[in-house]
């Protein structure tokens, strides 16, 4: 079993990026490994910089490989996704706010759904300079600084804010996903059709699905640091009517029960899942 392959690392996020960059995760190994990791919905896109062996991805049994060492992984939406890597592991993940692909990269969230897309495939030619700089880096700190500097340049040309959408997302996070679409729409002051269309375009998934993912990962985050015997109370605290509803949702999105997941061969995935610090 893999233990603590991934860890959150502390870097100072520039002030003008704090609304887009949530946290930074490093995954490294000193020896050759052969890992296959299911990737589950968390509600947050991910930038991935790779220095170890290039990974492959399986989405609903279709396997593919990218030729880039800097990618953006979008929302997981109704798909079975597996990340496979053989050899020494060297991955740097930057967790992004759900609006970052739209505001910074000028692409709809749906463009990245269930995919890992190379940075060169959707950014300007200036990305080439970033790739050259990353290739010369000797440690993770240098890579982080170069990536954040590039994102700062993208932020200068960001798309205009959609104020009601930003407010809706803040409310979803504040309520841990436990909020009705009706309440969100009333606060947004837009029509139901417009709300759903813009939300799915920018975030990549429907609002109801996104709220469920945030709710589920909120409970999971609490479970990581609590005995599974408290699952019933944690589920109730996070808006579930009872433990059975939480287990059913968990099984539907994860494919296993919470107890078996946390204590089984995939326990190391708790480093990747849960609610980011937002």
Model pLDDT for residues 112-166, shown as the tens digit of each residue: 999 989 888 888 656 668 888 888 888 888 889 999 999 998 999 999 999 999 9
Residues 128 and 241 in one domain: no
Final residue in a domain of this structure, among 111, 131, 155: 155
What per-residue confidence (pLDDT) applies to 55? 83
Q: Is 276 a member of any domain? A: no
Give, in degrees to the nearest 5, the angle at Cα 52 between 23 and 155. Answer: 35
Q: Which residue has the tokens 């790779």?
A: 50
- Token pair of 36, please? 């296959």
Say whether pLDDT at 211 is over 90. Answer: yes
Number of domains in the chain: 2
pTM of the model: 0.85
Residue ranges with strand state E in the chain? 6-9, 21-28, 33-39, 46-50, 56-59, 62-64, 70-73, 81-87, 90-96, 116-118
Nearest to 105 by CA among 202, 247, 226, 229: 202
Residues 233 and 215 in one domain: yes
* Residue range(s) defining the domain that contains residue 256: 163-271
Are the C-beta atoms of residues 22 and 95 closer than 8 Å to each other? yes
User: Sign of the CA dihedral 85, 119, 23, 10?
Assistant: positive
Mean residue pLDDT across the chain: 82
Residues 47 and 104 in one domain: yes
Final residue in a domain of this structure, among 101, 132, 155: 155
Q: Is 120 a member of any domain? A: yes
Rounded Cα distance, 46 and 252, in Å: 22
Q: Is 277 a member of any domain? A: no
Nearest to 76 by CA among 266, 205, 162, 197: 205
Residue 276 CA, chain-centre distance (Å), reads 9
Q: Which residues pair with 6 in a beta bridge?
A: 27
Pairing mode of beta strands 70-73, 56-59 = unpaired
């Amino acid at each position: 079993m893999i233990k603590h392959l991934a860890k959150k690392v502390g870097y100072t996020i520039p002030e003008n990026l704090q609304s887009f960059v949530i946290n930074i995760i490093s995954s490294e190994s000193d020896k050759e490994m052969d890992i296959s990791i299911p990737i589950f919905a968390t509600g947050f896109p991910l930038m991935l910089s790779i220095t170890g062996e290039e990974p492959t991805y399986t989405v609903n049994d279709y396997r593919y490989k990218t030729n880039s060492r800097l990618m953006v992984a979008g929302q997981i939406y109704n798909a079975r996704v597996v990340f496979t890597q053989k050899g020494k592991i060297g991955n740097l993940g930057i967790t992004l706010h759900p609006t970052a692909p739209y505001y910074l990269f000028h692409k709809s969230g749906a463009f990245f759904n269930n995919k890992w897309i190379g940075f060169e495939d959707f950014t300007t030619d200036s990305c080439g300079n970033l790739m050259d700089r990353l290739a010369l880096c000797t440690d993770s700190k240098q890579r982080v600084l170069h990536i954040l500097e590039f994102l700062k340049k993208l932020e200068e040309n960001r798309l205009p804010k959609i104020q009601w959408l930003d407010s809706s997302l803040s409310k979803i996070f504040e309520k841990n996903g436990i909020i009705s679409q009706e309440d969100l729409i009333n606060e947004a002051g837009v029509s139901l059709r417009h709300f759903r269309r813009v939300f799915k375009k920018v975030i990549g998934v429907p609002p109801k699905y996104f709220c469920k993912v945030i709710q589920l990962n909120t409970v999971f985050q609490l479970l990581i640091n609590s005995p599974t015997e408290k699952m019933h109370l944690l589920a109730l605290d996070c808006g579930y009517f009872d433990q059975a509803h939480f287990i059913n949702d968990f099984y539907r999105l994860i494919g296993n029960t919470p107890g078996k997941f946390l204590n089984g061969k995939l326990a190391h995935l708790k480093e990747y899942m849960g609610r980011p610090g937002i």
